[in-house]
């Protein structure tokens, strides 16, 4: 791929779900999956692209799900934030074993294991060629890691938000439940909101819309897909104005 050597974007943010890290396991972290994701991120990093990651914690605990089991919602959300820190440290370890200098920044203060989120410091890390992993969501209960990804994308001036998922794009309905669901290669922010397409939560979509950050949705399990999107190849779906 000759065009693969020329990135279409100079700074990107990748949103990884916690569930993606557990692979076929019912719970926890699959080291092989983390290694494969680290390989993908390294490939983008070698292009000279500034790359940041927001990681979820659903492979360990989800605050909303915990609240349905009797745990206070705010407490459950903080538990979920801590789960994202565990995932961020696992990804950092895999990246640094591949020679990618990495910093983890958390939205809640855990200075013994990671830096606190400081926007100017994050920007400096990116300028220095370090990958930055943002953990603990926004640091606030009731906000998802999708909202955190949209917020951090704006704060670091990312040119695109990459929503790496287990499906190959955005569908008109859940393809696992509706056999008539069709892939939507390109939709507007407004269509996502009006049709309630389940790609990211409303706050995240609105934040990207208000600041003109496109969202690419694609299958992260296909090797090379993150690099392809960064190099401008049209795969999966894109949400834009």
Show the 3-state SS of the chain. Answer: CHHHHCCCCCEEEEEECHHHHCCCCCCCCCHHHHHHHHHHHHHHHCCCCEEEEEECCCCCCCHHHHHHCCCCHHHHHHHHHHHHHHHHHHHHHHHHHCCCCEEEEECCCCCCCCEECCHHHHHHHHHCCCEEEEECCCCCCCCCHHHHHHHHHHHCCCCEEEEEECCCCCECCCCCCCCCCCECCEEEHHHHHHCCCECECHHHHHHHHHHCCCEEEEECCCCCHHHHHHCCCCCCEEEEC
pLDDT band at 179 (very low <50, low <70, confident <90, very high): confident
Instruction: Please give the mean pLDDT across all residues of the chain.
Output: 93
Which of the four pLDDT bands, split at 50, 70 and 90, describes residue 48?
Answer: very high
Who has greater pLDDT, 141 or 23?
A: 141
Give the whole-number percent of the chain exceeding pLDDT 90: 81
With 50 as the cut, is the pLDDT of residue 1 above it? no
Q: Does residue 217 or residue 221 have the better pLDDT?
A: 217
Q: What are phi and psi of 20, to 5 degrees?
A: -65, -30
pLDDT at 3 over 70: no
Helices 145-155 and 119-127: angle between axes, nearest 10 degrees:
70
pTM (predicted TM-score): 0.93
List the one residue out of 40, 42, 49 whose CA is nearest residue 21.
Answer: 40
* CATH number for the domain running over 2-240: 3.40.1160.10
For 79-114, the pLDDT digits (tens) are 999 999 999 999 999 999 999 999 999 999 999 999
For the chain, give the longest Cα–Cα distance: 54
Average pLDDT over every residue of 164-169: 88
* CA–CA gap between residue 82 and residue 136 (Å, rounded): 6
Radius of gyration of the chain (CA): 17
Q: How confident is the model at residue 33 (pLDDT cuts 50, 70, 90)?
A: very high
**Pairing assessment for the beta strands 131-135 and 186-188 based on DSSP bridges:** unpaired
Mean pLDDT of 133-141: 97
Percent of the chain with pLDDT over 70: 97
pLDDT for 63 beyond 80: no
């Amino acid at each position: 791929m000759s065009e693969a050597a020329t990135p279409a974007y100079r700074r990107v943010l990748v949103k990884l779900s916690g569930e993606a890290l557990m692979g076929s396991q019912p719970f926890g972290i699959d080291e092989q999956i983390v290694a494969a994701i680290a390989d993908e991120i390294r490939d983008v990093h070698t292009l000279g692209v500034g790359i940041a990651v927001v990681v979820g914690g659903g492979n360990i605990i989800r605050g909303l799900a915990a609240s349905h089991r009797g745990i206070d919602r705010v407490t459950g959300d903080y538990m979920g934030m801590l789960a994202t820190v565990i995932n961020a440290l696992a990804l950092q370890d895999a990246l640094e074993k591949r020679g990618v200098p990495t910093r983890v920044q958390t939205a809640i203060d855990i200075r013994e294991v990671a830096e606190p989120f400081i926007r100017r410091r994050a920007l400096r890390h990116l300028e220095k060629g370090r990958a930055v992993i943002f953990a603990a969501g926004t640091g606030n209960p009731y906000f998802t890691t999708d909202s955190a990804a949209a917020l951090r994308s704006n704060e670091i001036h990312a040119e695109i938000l990459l929503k790496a998922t287990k499906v190959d794009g955005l569908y008109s309905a859940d393809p696992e439940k509706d056999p008539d669901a069709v892939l939507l290669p390109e939709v507007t922010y407004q269509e996502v909101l009006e049709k309630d397409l389940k790609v990211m939560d409303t706050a995240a979509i609105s934040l990207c819309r208000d600041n003109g950050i496109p969202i690419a949705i694609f299958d992260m399990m296909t090797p090379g897909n993150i690099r392809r999107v960064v190099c401008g190849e049209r795969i999966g779906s894109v949400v834009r104005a």
